[in-house]
Chains A and B, each alone.
Chain A
Amino acid sequence: MNNPYIPIQMRIERVTVENDARDLKTFDLAFVNESDRENFKFIPGQFAFLSIPGVGEAPFGIASAPHEPVIKFTVKRVGVFTTALHEMEAGAGLGMRGPWGNSYPFEIMPGRDVVIVSGGFSFTTLRATIAHLLLPENRRNLGKITAIYGARSPGELLYKDEIRQWEQNPDLHLVLCVDRLNGGDWPQKEGLVPNVLREVGPKADNAVALVCGPPIMIKYTHPVLKELGFKPDQVYLSLENRMKCGIGKCGHCNIGPKYVCKDGPVFSYAQLLNLPAEY
Protein backbone atom coordinates (compact mmCIF):
# COMPACT_ATOMS: atom_id res chain seq x y z
CA MET A 1 0.00 0.00 0.00
CA ASN A 2 1.73 3.19 -1.08
CA ASN A 3 2.30 5.64 1.74
CA PRO A 4 1.56 9.26 0.71
CA TYR A 5 3.74 10.52 3.58
CA ILE A 6 6.99 9.01 2.27
CA PRO A 7 8.98 11.57 0.26
CA ILE A 8 10.95 10.55 -2.83
CA GLN A 9 14.66 11.39 -2.87
CA MET A 10 15.64 14.45 -4.92
CA ARG A 11 18.98 16.22 -5.49
CA ILE A 12 19.46 19.95 -5.92
CA GLU A 13 20.94 20.60 -9.35
CA ARG A 14 21.10 24.38 -9.31
CA VAL A 15 20.26 27.22 -6.92
CA THR A 16 19.64 30.68 -8.42
CA VAL A 17 19.13 33.73 -6.24
CA GLU A 18 16.17 35.72 -7.53
CA ASN A 19 16.40 39.04 -5.71
CA ASP A 20 18.99 41.33 -4.21
CA ALA A 21 17.71 40.66 -0.69
CA ARG A 22 18.75 37.04 -1.39
CA ASP A 23 15.67 35.75 0.42
CA LEU A 24 14.12 34.37 -2.77
CA LYS A 25 15.86 31.40 -4.36
CA THR A 26 14.88 29.02 -7.12
CA PHE A 27 15.86 25.39 -6.64
CA ASP A 28 16.13 23.06 -9.64
CA LEU A 29 15.66 19.50 -8.39
CA ALA A 30 16.50 16.28 -10.21
CA PHE A 31 15.24 12.80 -9.38
CA VAL A 32 17.82 10.65 -7.59
CA ASN A 33 16.34 7.52 -9.14
CA GLU A 34 14.71 8.02 -12.53
CA SER A 35 11.98 5.47 -11.78
CA ASP A 36 10.34 8.05 -9.50
CA ARG A 37 9.88 10.39 -12.45
CA GLU A 38 7.13 8.14 -13.89
CA ASN A 39 4.85 8.48 -10.89
CA PHE A 40 5.44 12.20 -10.54
CA LYS A 41 3.30 13.32 -13.50
CA PHE A 42 2.04 16.82 -12.74
CA ILE A 43 0.13 19.64 -14.47
CA PRO A 44 0.95 23.34 -13.88
CA GLY A 45 -0.93 24.65 -10.84
CA GLN A 46 -0.20 21.59 -8.71
CA PHE A 47 2.10 21.72 -5.71
CA ALA A 48 4.39 19.42 -3.80
CA PHE A 49 5.79 19.10 -0.29
CA LEU A 50 9.53 19.52 0.15
CA SER A 51 10.94 17.60 3.11
CA ILE A 52 14.18 17.96 5.04
CA PRO A 53 14.72 15.17 7.60
CA GLY A 54 14.64 16.49 11.16
CA VAL A 55 13.59 19.96 10.04
CA GLY A 56 10.15 19.45 8.60
CA GLU A 57 8.04 19.79 5.50
CA ALA A 58 6.35 22.61 3.62
CA PRO A 59 4.19 22.89 0.49
CA PHE A 60 5.42 24.84 -2.57
CA GLY A 61 3.89 25.44 -5.98
CA ILE A 62 5.76 23.63 -8.76
CA ALA A 63 7.35 26.39 -10.85
CA SER A 64 8.56 24.21 -13.73
CA ALA A 65 6.38 23.12 -16.65
CA PRO A 66 5.89 19.35 -17.17
CA HIS A 67 8.07 19.31 -20.31
CA GLU A 68 11.09 20.79 -18.52
CA PRO A 69 13.78 18.31 -17.37
CA VAL A 70 14.07 19.55 -13.76
CA ILE A 71 11.46 20.28 -11.10
CA LYS A 72 11.70 23.94 -10.12
CA PHE A 73 10.61 25.51 -6.82
CA THR A 74 10.97 29.16 -5.84
CA VAL A 75 11.12 29.59 -2.09
CA LYS A 76 11.13 32.70 0.10
CA ARG A 77 13.03 32.44 3.37
CA VAL A 78 10.39 33.05 6.10
CA GLY A 79 10.71 30.31 8.68
CA VAL A 80 12.57 27.32 10.07
CA PHE A 81 12.10 25.08 7.04
CA THR A 82 12.74 27.69 4.36
CA THR A 83 15.85 28.91 6.19
CA ALA A 84 17.22 25.36 6.27
CA LEU A 85 16.40 25.00 2.58
CA HIS A 86 18.11 28.30 1.74
CA GLU A 87 21.27 27.05 3.40
CA MET A 88 21.45 24.12 1.00
CA GLU A 89 23.69 24.21 -2.05
CA ALA A 90 23.67 22.28 -5.31
CA GLY A 91 24.26 18.57 -4.73
CA ALA A 92 22.38 18.42 -1.44
CA GLY A 93 19.55 15.90 -1.15
CA LEU A 94 16.04 16.45 0.07
CA GLY A 95 12.66 14.78 -0.09
CA MET A 96 9.67 15.67 -2.24
CA ARG A 97 6.11 14.47 -1.86
CA GLY A 98 3.39 15.00 -4.41
CA PRO A 99 2.11 16.17 -6.82
CA TRP A 100 -0.95 17.28 -4.87
CA GLY A 101 -4.00 19.36 -5.63
CA ASN A 102 -5.73 20.12 -8.92
CA SER A 103 -4.30 22.30 -11.70
CA TYR A 104 -5.32 25.30 -13.72
CA PRO A 105 -8.29 24.46 -16.00
CA PHE A 106 -6.32 23.66 -19.20
CA GLU A 107 -9.18 21.55 -20.50
CA ILE A 108 -11.46 24.61 -20.97
CA MET A 109 -8.81 26.94 -22.46
CA PRO A 110 -8.74 25.81 -26.13
CA GLY A 111 -10.35 28.44 -28.34
CA ARG A 112 -10.32 31.12 -25.66
CA ASP A 113 -8.15 34.06 -24.61
CA VAL A 114 -6.14 33.59 -21.41
CA VAL A 115 -5.49 36.40 -18.92
CA ILE A 116 -2.91 35.74 -16.22
CA VAL A 117 -2.71 38.04 -13.20
CA SER A 118 0.05 37.41 -10.68
CA GLY A 119 1.76 39.29 -7.90
CA GLY A 120 4.78 38.82 -5.72
CA PHE A 121 6.64 35.53 -5.48
CA SER A 122 3.54 33.41 -6.16
CA PHE A 123 4.37 33.75 -9.86
CA THR A 124 5.77 30.21 -9.60
CA THR A 125 2.84 28.08 -10.81
CA LEU A 126 1.84 30.77 -13.30
CA ARG A 127 5.36 30.78 -14.73
CA ALA A 128 4.88 27.03 -15.22
CA THR A 129 1.51 27.71 -16.84
CA ILE A 130 2.90 30.32 -19.25
CA ALA A 131 5.79 28.04 -20.25
CA HIS A 132 3.28 25.21 -20.76
CA LEU A 133 0.90 27.36 -22.81
CA LEU A 134 3.70 28.70 -25.01
CA LEU A 135 4.47 25.19 -26.24
CA PRO A 136 3.52 25.18 -29.94
CA GLU A 137 0.98 22.32 -29.56
CA ASN A 138 -0.81 24.29 -26.81
CA ARG A 139 -0.32 27.80 -28.13
CA ARG A 140 -1.93 27.22 -31.51
CA ASN A 141 -5.41 26.49 -30.17
CA LEU A 142 -5.44 29.46 -27.79
CA GLY A 143 -6.48 33.05 -28.45
CA LYS A 144 -4.59 36.00 -27.02
CA ILE A 145 -2.52 35.41 -23.86
CA THR A 146 -2.18 38.45 -21.64
CA ALA A 147 -0.03 38.20 -18.54
CA ILE A 148 0.29 40.87 -15.86
CA TYR A 149 3.00 40.21 -13.31
CA GLY A 150 3.74 42.68 -10.57
CA ALA A 151 6.27 42.89 -7.78
CA ARG A 152 7.31 45.42 -5.15
CA SER A 153 10.39 46.53 -7.06
CA PRO A 154 12.30 45.48 -10.20
CA GLY A 155 14.76 43.55 -7.99
CA GLU A 156 11.90 41.39 -6.69
CA LEU A 157 10.76 40.15 -10.15
CA LEU A 158 11.32 36.40 -10.52
CA TYR A 159 12.97 34.62 -13.46
CA LYS A 160 14.33 37.90 -14.80
CA ASP A 161 16.17 36.55 -17.84
CA GLU A 162 13.20 34.43 -18.85
CA ILE A 163 10.62 37.19 -18.55
CA ARG A 164 12.88 39.53 -20.56
CA GLN A 165 12.60 37.08 -23.45
CA TRP A 166 8.87 36.63 -22.89
CA GLU A 167 8.46 40.43 -23.17
CA GLN A 168 9.70 40.14 -26.77
CA ASN A 169 7.64 37.00 -27.52
CA PRO A 170 4.86 37.88 -29.99
CA ASP A 171 2.69 35.01 -28.75
CA LEU A 172 2.44 36.53 -25.29
CA HIS A 173 1.47 40.06 -24.18
CA LEU A 174 3.50 40.26 -20.92
CA VAL A 175 3.10 43.42 -18.83
CA LEU A 176 5.47 43.80 -15.90
CA CYS A 177 4.74 46.33 -13.20
CA VAL A 178 6.35 47.34 -9.96
CA ASP A 179 5.03 49.19 -6.95
CA ARG A 180 7.90 51.67 -7.20
CA LEU A 181 10.55 52.03 -9.85
CA ASN A 182 13.99 52.57 -8.37
CA GLY A 183 15.79 53.75 -11.43
CA GLY A 184 16.99 50.49 -13.05
CA ASP A 185 17.55 50.21 -16.79
CA TRP A 186 14.46 48.05 -17.17
CA PRO A 187 11.43 50.14 -18.27
CA GLN A 188 8.25 48.75 -16.65
CA LYS A 189 4.91 50.17 -15.73
CA GLU A 190 4.72 51.65 -12.26
CA GLY A 191 1.60 50.78 -10.30
CA LEU A 192 -0.24 48.06 -8.49
CA VAL A 193 -1.38 44.96 -10.33
CA PRO A 194 -5.13 45.70 -10.14
CA ASN A 195 -4.66 49.20 -11.60
CA VAL A 196 -2.35 47.96 -14.34
CA LEU A 197 -4.92 45.26 -15.13
CA ARG A 198 -7.59 47.95 -15.54
CA GLU A 199 -5.19 49.91 -17.78
CA VAL A 200 -4.36 46.90 -19.98
CA GLY A 201 -8.09 46.03 -20.01
CA PRO A 202 -8.07 42.54 -21.62
CA LYS A 203 -11.37 41.59 -23.34
CA ALA A 204 -13.60 39.45 -21.15
CA ASP A 205 -15.76 37.61 -23.65
CA ASN A 206 -14.61 34.05 -24.27
CA ALA A 207 -11.64 34.60 -21.94
CA VAL A 208 -10.33 32.75 -18.87
CA ALA A 209 -8.55 34.62 -16.07
CA LEU A 210 -5.99 32.90 -13.84
CA VAL A 211 -5.17 34.81 -10.65
CA CYS A 212 -2.54 33.97 -8.06
CA GLY A 213 -1.04 36.29 -5.49
CA PRO A 214 -1.15 37.43 -1.89
CA PRO A 215 -4.66 37.68 -0.35
CA ILE A 216 -4.53 41.50 -0.50
CA MET A 217 -3.91 41.44 -4.26
CA ILE A 218 -6.70 38.91 -4.85
CA LYS A 219 -9.07 41.12 -2.86
CA TYR A 220 -8.44 44.15 -5.12
CA THR A 221 -8.21 42.22 -8.39
CA HIS A 222 -11.78 40.85 -8.27
CA PRO A 223 -13.59 44.18 -8.66
CA VAL A 224 -11.39 45.07 -11.64
CA LEU A 225 -12.08 41.74 -13.35
CA LYS A 226 -15.77 42.28 -12.68
CA GLU A 227 -15.50 45.77 -14.16
CA LEU A 228 -13.89 44.31 -17.27
CA GLY A 229 -16.88 41.97 -17.62
CA PHE A 230 -15.38 38.71 -16.34
CA LYS A 231 -18.11 36.52 -14.91
CA PRO A 232 -17.27 34.48 -11.73
CA ASP A 233 -16.98 31.19 -13.65
CA GLN A 234 -14.36 32.73 -15.95
CA VAL A 235 -11.98 33.56 -13.10
CA TYR A 236 -9.76 30.88 -11.52
CA LEU A 237 -7.79 31.47 -8.33
CA SER A 238 -4.90 29.53 -6.91
CA LEU A 239 -5.17 29.80 -3.15
CA GLU A 240 -2.65 29.13 -0.45
CA ASN A 241 -3.66 27.92 3.02
CA ARG A 242 -1.68 26.34 5.81
CA MET A 243 -1.12 22.71 4.82
CA LYS A 244 0.38 19.83 6.72
CA CYS A 245 -0.49 16.66 4.79
CA GLY A 246 -1.46 17.52 1.19
CA ILE A 247 -3.98 14.67 0.98
CA GLY A 248 -7.02 16.25 2.66
CA LYS A 249 -6.65 14.58 6.08
CA CYS A 250 -4.96 16.99 8.49
CA GLY A 251 -7.77 19.56 8.31
CA HIS A 252 -5.63 22.72 8.31
CA CYS A 253 -6.38 24.07 4.84
CA ASN A 254 -10.18 23.98 4.91
CA ILE A 255 -12.30 26.71 3.39
CA GLY A 256 -15.69 25.68 4.65
CA PRO A 257 -16.22 22.05 3.59
CA LYS A 258 -13.55 22.18 0.87
CA TYR A 259 -9.85 21.41 1.39
CA VAL A 260 -7.45 23.67 -0.55
CA CYS A 261 -4.96 20.81 -0.91
CA LYS A 262 -7.47 18.24 -2.25
CA ASP A 263 -10.33 20.22 -3.81
CA GLY A 264 -7.95 23.06 -4.80
CA PRO A 265 -5.60 24.91 -4.76
CA VAL A 266 -7.28 26.19 -7.93
CA PHE A 267 -10.91 27.21 -7.45
CA SER A 268 -13.18 29.09 -9.79
CA TYR A 269 -14.43 32.34 -8.32
CA ALA A 270 -17.96 30.97 -8.75
CA GLN A 271 -17.02 28.10 -6.39
CA LEU A 272 -15.53 30.53 -3.91
CA LEU A 273 -18.65 32.67 -3.85
CA ASN A 274 -20.59 29.92 -2.06
CA LEU A 275 -17.67 29.12 0.21
CA PRO A 276 -16.82 31.15 3.32
CA ALA A 277 -14.14 33.81 2.76
CA GLU A 278 -11.63 31.83 4.82
CA TYR A 279 -8.49 32.27 2.68
Chain B
Amino acid sequence: MNRSEILRRRAKELLSKGEVKMVVGYCASSQPGVAQPFFATTPEQAEQLIFDATCSQNLANFLLKVKNIGRVAVVAKGCDSRSIVVLLQENQIQRDEVHILGVGCEGVIQNGERSVSCRVCEYPNPLIYDEMLGEQAAQQAADTAIRMADEDFTRLTPDERWRVLSEEVSRCIRCYACRQVCPNCYCPVCFVDASMPQLVGRTHNISDNMVFHIMRALHMAGRCVECGSCHRACPMGIDLMRFNRRVAKIVKERFNAVAGIDITTPPALTRFSPEDAQEFIK
Protein backbone atom coordinates (compact mmCIF):
# COMPACT_ATOMS: atom_id res chain seq x y z
CA MET B 1 0.00 0.00 0.00
CA ASN B 2 1.66 3.28 -0.98
CA ARG B 3 1.99 6.21 1.34
CA SER B 4 -1.01 8.10 -0.06
CA GLU B 5 -3.28 5.16 0.73
CA ILE B 6 -1.83 4.68 4.22
CA LEU B 7 -2.22 8.42 4.79
CA ARG B 8 -5.86 8.40 3.69
CA ARG B 9 -6.68 5.37 5.83
CA ARG B 10 -5.05 6.83 8.95
CA ALA B 11 -6.54 10.29 8.33
CA LYS B 12 -10.04 8.83 8.07
CA GLU B 13 -9.50 6.89 11.30
CA LEU B 14 -8.18 9.90 13.17
CA LEU B 15 -11.02 12.11 11.98
CA SER B 16 -13.83 9.63 12.49
CA LYS B 17 -12.57 8.74 16.01
CA GLY B 18 -12.36 12.47 16.72
CA GLU B 19 -8.73 12.24 17.83
CA VAL B 20 -8.00 15.29 15.67
CA LYS B 21 -10.18 18.12 14.39
CA MET B 22 -8.25 18.46 11.11
CA VAL B 23 -5.60 16.68 9.07
CA VAL B 24 -3.22 19.13 7.38
CA GLY B 25 -1.79 17.49 4.27
CA TYR B 26 -1.70 17.90 0.51
CA CYS B 27 -4.08 17.35 -2.37
CA ALA B 28 -3.52 17.51 -6.10
CA SER B 29 -3.73 20.98 -7.65
CA SER B 30 -4.61 21.94 -11.21
CA GLN B 31 -0.93 22.65 -11.98
CA PRO B 32 1.19 19.63 -12.93
CA GLY B 33 4.11 19.13 -10.53
CA VAL B 34 2.70 21.24 -7.66
CA ALA B 35 0.47 19.96 -4.85
CA GLN B 36 -1.82 22.16 -2.78
CA PRO B 37 -1.93 22.29 1.03
CA PHE B 38 -5.19 20.59 2.04
CA PHE B 39 -7.15 20.73 5.28
CA ALA B 40 -9.33 17.65 5.76
CA THR B 41 -11.90 18.01 8.53
CA THR B 42 -14.20 15.09 7.59
CA PRO B 43 -13.39 11.49 6.61
CA GLU B 44 -14.84 12.18 3.12
CA GLN B 45 -12.43 15.08 2.60
CA ALA B 46 -9.56 12.84 3.76
CA GLU B 47 -10.14 10.88 0.53
CA GLN B 48 -8.39 13.66 -1.41
CA LEU B 49 -5.17 13.50 0.63
CA ILE B 50 -2.05 12.50 -1.33
CA PHE B 51 1.67 12.29 -0.69
CA ASP B 52 4.28 12.26 -3.50
CA ALA B 53 7.16 14.31 -4.84
CA THR B 54 4.88 17.24 -5.72
CA CYS B 55 4.10 17.89 -2.02
CA SER B 56 6.67 20.66 -1.70
CA GLN B 57 5.16 23.24 0.70
CA ASN B 58 6.36 23.21 4.33
CA LEU B 59 3.14 22.38 6.23
CA ALA B 60 4.55 23.55 9.58
CA ASN B 61 3.71 27.05 8.29
CA PHE B 62 0.01 26.18 8.25
CA LEU B 63 0.08 24.86 11.82
CA LEU B 64 0.43 28.48 12.89
CA LYS B 65 -2.66 29.33 10.89
CA VAL B 66 -4.94 26.63 12.31
CA LYS B 67 -3.55 26.43 15.83
CA ASN B 68 -6.69 27.63 17.57
CA ILE B 69 -9.09 24.95 16.33
CA GLY B 70 -7.87 22.19 18.69
CA ARG B 71 -5.79 19.07 18.03
CA VAL B 72 -4.49 18.85 14.46
CA ALA B 73 -2.73 16.07 12.57
CA VAL B 74 -0.05 17.14 10.09
CA VAL B 75 1.87 15.29 7.41
CA ALA B 76 5.55 15.92 8.04
CA LYS B 77 8.50 15.23 5.78
CA GLY B 78 12.02 15.43 7.19
CA CYS B 79 12.30 19.22 6.82
CA ASP B 80 8.70 19.85 7.90
CA SER B 81 9.34 17.90 11.11
CA ARG B 82 12.46 19.98 11.75
CA SER B 83 10.36 23.15 11.37
CA ILE B 84 7.87 21.69 13.85
CA VAL B 85 10.76 21.15 16.28
CA VAL B 86 11.82 24.79 15.89
CA LEU B 87 8.23 26.01 16.38
CA LEU B 88 7.91 23.84 19.49
CA GLN B 89 11.21 25.16 20.85
CA GLU B 90 9.98 28.72 20.22
CA ASN B 91 6.62 27.98 21.93
CA GLN B 92 4.59 28.80 18.82
CA ILE B 93 2.69 25.50 18.97
CA GLN B 94 1.99 23.03 21.76
CA ARG B 95 3.23 19.46 21.40
CA ASP B 96 -0.05 17.94 22.60
CA GLU B 97 -2.04 19.87 19.98
CA VAL B 98 -0.12 18.35 17.07
CA HIS B 99 -0.35 14.75 15.91
CA ILE B 100 2.61 14.32 13.56
CA LEU B 101 2.20 11.84 10.69
CA GLY B 102 5.83 11.27 9.64
CA VAL B 103 6.61 10.37 6.02
CA GLY B 104 9.99 9.49 4.50
CA CYS B 105 10.77 11.82 1.60
CA GLU B 106 12.78 11.18 -1.58
CA GLY B 107 12.91 14.87 -2.40
CA VAL B 108 10.27 17.16 -3.88
CA ILE B 109 10.29 18.55 -7.42
CA GLN B 110 10.33 22.06 -8.84
CA ASN B 111 9.75 22.61 -12.59
CA GLY B 112 10.15 18.86 -13.06
CA GLU B 113 13.52 18.36 -11.37
CA ARG B 114 14.50 17.64 -7.76
CA SER B 115 14.45 20.86 -5.78
CA VAL B 116 17.88 22.32 -5.04
CA SER B 117 17.52 21.89 -1.26
CA CYS B 118 16.50 18.23 -1.63
CA ARG B 119 19.63 17.50 -3.65
CA VAL B 120 21.76 18.26 -0.57
CA CYS B 121 19.23 17.11 2.04
CA GLU B 122 20.70 15.14 4.97
CA TYR B 123 17.45 14.50 6.86
CA PRO B 124 14.94 12.81 4.51
CA ASN B 125 13.14 11.18 7.45
CA PRO B 126 11.16 13.04 10.15
CA LEU B 127 13.10 13.73 13.35
CA ILE B 128 9.92 13.86 15.45
CA TYR B 129 6.66 12.03 14.81
CA ASP B 130 3.73 10.32 16.49
CA GLU B 131 3.50 7.66 13.82
CA MET B 132 5.38 6.81 10.65
CA LEU B 133 3.37 6.32 7.42
CA GLY B 134 5.14 3.71 5.34
CA GLU B 135 8.88 3.01 5.24
CA GLN B 136 11.72 5.36 6.10
CA ALA B 137 13.23 6.96 2.98
CA ALA B 138 16.73 5.98 1.93
CA GLN B 139 19.41 8.61 2.49
CA GLN B 140 20.51 9.76 -0.99
CA ALA B 141 24.05 10.92 -1.77
CA ALA B 142 24.34 14.71 -1.68
CA ASP B 143 24.69 16.34 -5.09
CA THR B 144 28.35 17.37 -5.09
CA ALA B 145 27.70 19.86 -7.91
CA ILE B 146 25.95 22.21 -5.48
CA ARG B 147 28.72 21.91 -2.89
CA MET B 148 31.32 22.57 -5.60
CA ALA B 149 29.39 25.60 -6.88
CA ASP B 150 29.26 27.00 -3.35
CA GLU B 151 33.02 26.47 -2.97
CA ASP B 152 33.72 28.18 -6.28
CA PHE B 153 31.52 31.08 -5.26
CA THR B 154 33.52 31.74 -2.12
CA ARG B 155 36.73 31.84 -4.15
CA LEU B 156 35.46 34.79 -6.20
CA THR B 157 36.62 38.28 -5.23
CA PRO B 158 34.30 40.29 -2.97
CA ASP B 159 33.30 42.56 -5.87
CA GLU B 160 32.42 39.58 -8.06
CA ARG B 161 30.38 37.97 -5.24
CA TRP B 162 28.57 41.24 -4.71
CA ARG B 163 27.82 41.59 -8.44
CA VAL B 164 26.42 38.05 -8.68
CA LEU B 165 24.24 38.37 -5.57
CA SER B 166 23.02 41.90 -6.29
CA GLU B 167 22.05 40.84 -9.82
CA GLU B 168 19.98 37.99 -8.31
CA VAL B 169 18.42 40.26 -5.69
CA SER B 170 17.70 43.05 -8.18
CA ARG B 171 14.97 40.81 -9.63
CA CYS B 172 13.17 40.76 -6.26
CA ILE B 173 9.73 42.39 -6.57
CA ARG B 174 9.17 42.38 -2.76
CA CYS B 175 6.07 40.20 -2.98
CA TYR B 176 7.24 38.52 0.29
CA ALA B 177 6.23 35.01 -0.86
CA CYS B 178 9.55 33.81 0.68
CA ARG B 179 8.52 35.28 4.02
CA GLN B 180 4.89 34.19 3.95
CA VAL B 181 5.70 30.59 3.00
CA CYS B 182 8.33 30.19 5.75
CA PRO B 183 7.25 28.62 9.07
CA ASN B 184 10.02 30.55 10.84
CA CYS B 185 8.65 33.92 9.66
CA TYR B 186 5.78 34.51 12.06
CA CYS B 187 6.45 38.06 13.29
CA PRO B 188 3.15 39.94 13.58
CA VAL B 189 4.68 42.97 11.79
CA CYS B 190 7.80 42.21 9.80
CA PHE B 191 10.67 44.72 10.15
CA VAL B 192 10.20 45.41 6.43
CA ASP B 193 6.59 46.50 6.98
CA ALA B 194 7.39 48.62 10.03
CA SER B 195 6.51 52.11 8.92
CA MET B 196 6.98 54.15 12.07
CA PRO B 197 9.73 54.88 11.08
CA GLN B 198 10.01 53.31 7.65
CA LEU B 199 13.07 51.15 8.30
CA VAL B 200 13.43 49.59 4.85
CA GLY B 201 12.58 51.61 1.76
CA ARG B 202 9.64 50.41 -0.31
CA THR B 203 10.96 51.73 -3.61
CA HIS B 204 12.73 49.44 -6.05
CA ASN B 205 16.48 49.59 -5.37
CA ILE B 206 19.12 46.95 -4.91
CA SER B 207 20.26 48.30 -1.55
CA ASP B 208 16.84 47.79 0.13
CA ASN B 209 16.33 44.43 -1.56
CA MET B 210 19.75 43.26 -0.38
CA VAL B 211 19.11 44.49 3.15
CA PHE B 212 15.80 42.57 3.21
CA HIS B 213 17.38 39.32 2.07
CA ILE B 214 20.47 39.61 4.29
CA MET B 215 18.32 40.40 7.33
CA ARG B 216 15.91 37.57 6.55
CA ALA B 217 18.83 35.16 6.28
CA LEU B 218 20.16 36.46 9.63
CA HIS B 219 16.76 36.03 11.27
CA MET B 220 16.93 32.42 10.07
CA ALA B 221 20.38 31.78 11.55
CA GLY B 222 20.21 28.60 13.57
CA ARG B 223 16.50 28.22 12.77
CA CYS B 224 16.33 27.65 9.00
CA VAL B 225 15.78 23.96 8.24
CA GLU B 226 16.72 24.40 4.56
CA CYS B 227 13.38 23.03 3.34
CA GLY B 228 13.69 25.22 0.20
CA SER B 229 10.06 26.44 0.35
CA CYS B 230 11.18 30.06 -0.06
CA HIS B 231 13.34 29.12 -3.06
CA ARG B 232 10.41 27.34 -4.72
CA ALA B 233 7.86 30.04 -3.79
CA CYS B 234 9.81 32.91 -5.36
CA PRO B 235 7.90 33.98 -8.50
CA MET B 236 11.07 35.54 -9.89
CA GLY B 237 13.20 32.40 -9.45
CA ILE B 238 15.77 34.05 -7.19
CA ASP B 239 18.35 31.61 -5.78
CA LEU B 240 17.39 32.15 -2.10
CA MET B 241 18.87 28.85 -0.92
CA ARG B 242 22.31 30.32 -1.70
CA PHE B 243 21.86 32.67 1.29
CA ASN B 244 20.23 30.05 3.55
CA ARG B 245 22.76 27.30 2.75
CA ARG B 246 25.56 29.70 3.62
CA VAL B 247 24.02 30.78 6.94
CA ALA B 248 23.32 27.15 7.88
CA LYS B 249 26.96 26.30 7.04
CA ILE B 250 28.23 29.19 9.20
CA VAL B 251 26.04 28.09 12.15
CA LYS B 252 27.18 24.46 11.72
CA GLU B 253 30.88 25.33 11.55
CA ARG B 254 30.91 27.95 14.26
CA PHE B 255 28.47 26.52 16.80
CA ASN B 256 28.21 22.91 15.64
CA ALA B 257 24.45 23.35 15.59
CA VAL B 258 21.81 22.26 13.04
CA ALA B 259 18.30 23.69 13.19
CA GLY B 260 15.44 21.50 14.40
CA ILE B 261 17.09 18.12 14.71
CA ASP B 262 17.09 17.86 18.51
CA ILE B 263 14.27 19.34 20.53
CA THR B 264 16.36 19.41 23.72
CA THR B 265 19.00 21.84 22.39
CA PRO B 266 17.49 25.33 21.78
CA PRO B 267 18.24 27.19 18.51
CA ALA B 268 21.91 28.17 18.19
CA LEU B 269 21.53 31.94 18.50
CA THR B 270 19.38 31.79 21.62
CA ARG B 271 22.32 30.45 23.62
CA PHE B 272 26.05 30.97 23.79
CA SER B 273 29.16 29.39 25.16
CA PRO B 274 32.15 31.16 26.74
CA GLU B 275 34.43 29.29 24.32
CA ASP B 276 32.73 30.68 21.18
CA ALA B 277 35.41 31.59 18.63
CA GLN B 278 36.18 35.32 18.40
CA GLU B 279 39.02 35.40 15.91
CA PHE B 280 37.20 38.07 13.94
CA ILE B 281 36.97 40.40 16.97
CA LYS B 282 39.81 42.87 17.48
Contacts and interface: CB of A to CB of B under 8 A. Distances in A.
A and B touch in the complex (CB under 8 A): yes
A135 interface: no
Contacts of A79: 195-196
A196 B197 CA distance: 40
Nearest to A56: B198
Interface string B168-201: 0000000000000000000000000001111000
B196 to A, nearest CB: 5
A79 B197 CA distance: 8
B253 to A, nearest CB: 42
6 contacts: A79-B195, A79-B196, A80-B195, A80-B196, A80-B197, A80-B198
Contacts of B197: 80
Contacts of A80: 195-198
Interface of B: 195-198
Interface in A61-83: 79-80
A260 B32 CA distance: 41
Interface string A66-108: 0000000000000110000000000000000000000000000
Contacts of B198: 80
A79 B196 CA distance: 6
Nearest to A78: B196
Report the contact-size class of chain A (Cβ under 8 Å from the partner): under 10
B12 to A, nearest CB: 37
Nearest to B197: A80
A42 to B, nearest CB: 29
A121 B196 CA distance: 22
Contacts of B196: 79-80
B244 to A, nearest CB: 33
B35 to A, nearest CB: 32
Contacts of B195: 79-80
Interface string A208-251: 00000000000000000000000000000000000000000000
A80 B196 CA distance: 6
B129 to A, nearest CB: 42
Instruction: Identify the 6 closest CB pairs spanning chains A and B, nearest first.
Output: A79-B196, A80-B196, A80-B197, A80-B195, A80-B198, A79-B195
A277 B231 CA distance: 37
Nearest to B195: A80
A81 to B, nearest CB: 10
A79 B195 CA distance: 9
Nearest to A83: B196
B202 to A, nearest CB: 11
